[in-house]
Amino acid sequence: MKFELQHNDTKTNARAGLITTDHGVIETPIFMPVGTQGTVKGVHMTELKEDIDAQIILGNTYHLYLRPGLEILEKAGGLHKFNTWDRPILTDSGGFQVFSLSDNRKLHEEGAEFRSHIDGSKHLFTPEKVMDIQRIIGADIIMAFDECCPGDADYDYAKKSLGLTERWLDRCFDRFNATEPKYGYQQCLFPIVQGCVYPDLRRHAAENVTRKGADGNAIGGLAVGEPTEKMYEMIEVVNEILPKDKPRYLMGVGTPINLLEAIERGVDMFDCIMPTRNGRNGQLFTRFGTINIRNKKWEDDFSPIDSDGNSYVDTLYSKAYLHHLVKVNELLGLQIASIHNLAFYLWLVKEARRHIIAGDFATWKSGMVQQLDNRL
């Protein structure tokens, strides 16, 4: 993987760059749709590629390990062949999913023991096993196995958790460096900066991660219950230390406003389930604010879903029609809302990139944040 930093904004820390992988080029800043179980929920690959124009998507180690399982994925030739996506893929290590199973998991030095949310069967994820699983899945960018510390953890717990994450990180790199990709193209490993909301822990973690000299670096453990301002503060603390010539990935974030605030602070890559999950619940993101399409006010509004939108669904269907579909729980409604939101997120980061290169990002971002905060 290669990262070319193309432009630095003069008034903020925003950057525009290019990531080159064996499955194609990614223009940053970029949003990555989440395809947890090998699919972005309710969206065809053709729509992702030709309409939404996603440049990279996510898969999840925990879910793919459980279903369809490693034997099927390896027989298929990896996730790219299995789901037909021929652009870059990033896999999360499954650390966050194991963290989410708080009642059904035990952490110790060796790894994380957990029970499957599907059938209750017992499993053990070690750093070595997670590297091996991600070799079989075959994503272009794979993530280190870490403990995702709760946003409200006290200092002692956060410090202990970070120590475990850093020891696991050493083991991830040892295993990654001792193994080879399975399918004839390169993979790269991103370490993850943890440390909860404590600046000294975040600095320590960022310094440790920087010493690894990885192709890119991730910031994890945010948007897990801490105040939004704390999240922004931690991004600033970490990005002062992380190398400027490597991409920075903020995991699991967030709202359109969160994306712009993080881009301003020097983040290059994002993923979040929000556009699809919130879309399935009837929330539409637009450049003028959010719409709850379930509200009665839309039932006889026959104007396009979003006349300024970037997907074919935005002008093909009316707000009244989408209101009806969502109210009756018609699957097509969930699909339309998901496609609209993903197309909007991709438009937003492309527009941010355009303004970074044009030199007026700060002015554009300030106005856009005000618009995005509206409820329509």
- List, for residues 249-284, the tens digit of each pLDDT value: 999 999 999 999 999 999 999 999 999 999 999 999
pLDDT of residue 96: 82
Q: Which of 244, 271, 298 is the last residue of a domain?
A: 271
Q: Which domain holds residue 287?
A: 273-376
Average pLDDT for residues 150-159, to the nearest whole number? 93
Domain boundary among 226, 255, 271: 271
Whether residue 261 is found in the same domain as residue 330: no
**Options 9, 51, 92, 314, the catalytic residue:** 92
Output the pLDDT for position 100: 78
- Whether 103 has a pLDDT exceeding 80, the answer reads no
- pLDDT (tens digit, 9 = 90+) per residue, 328-369? 999 999 999 999 999 999 999 999 999 999 999 999 999 999
Please enumerate in sequence order all residues whose Cβ is within 8 A of that of 101, keeping only pairs 6 or more positions apart, or say none: 114, 115, 117
How many CA within 13 A on the CB side of residue 9? 26
CATH of the domain at 15: 3.20.20.105
Shared domain check, 185 and 257:
yes
Selecting among 9, 215, 271, 306, the annotated active-site residue is 271
The pLDDT of 192-217, averaged and rounded, is 98
Query: What domain count does the chain have?
Result: 2
Residues 203 and 332 in one domain: no
Cβ-based burial of 100 (10 A; exposed 0-12, middle 13-18, buried ≥19): middle
92 belongs to the catalytic site: yes
Does the active-site annotation cover 360? no
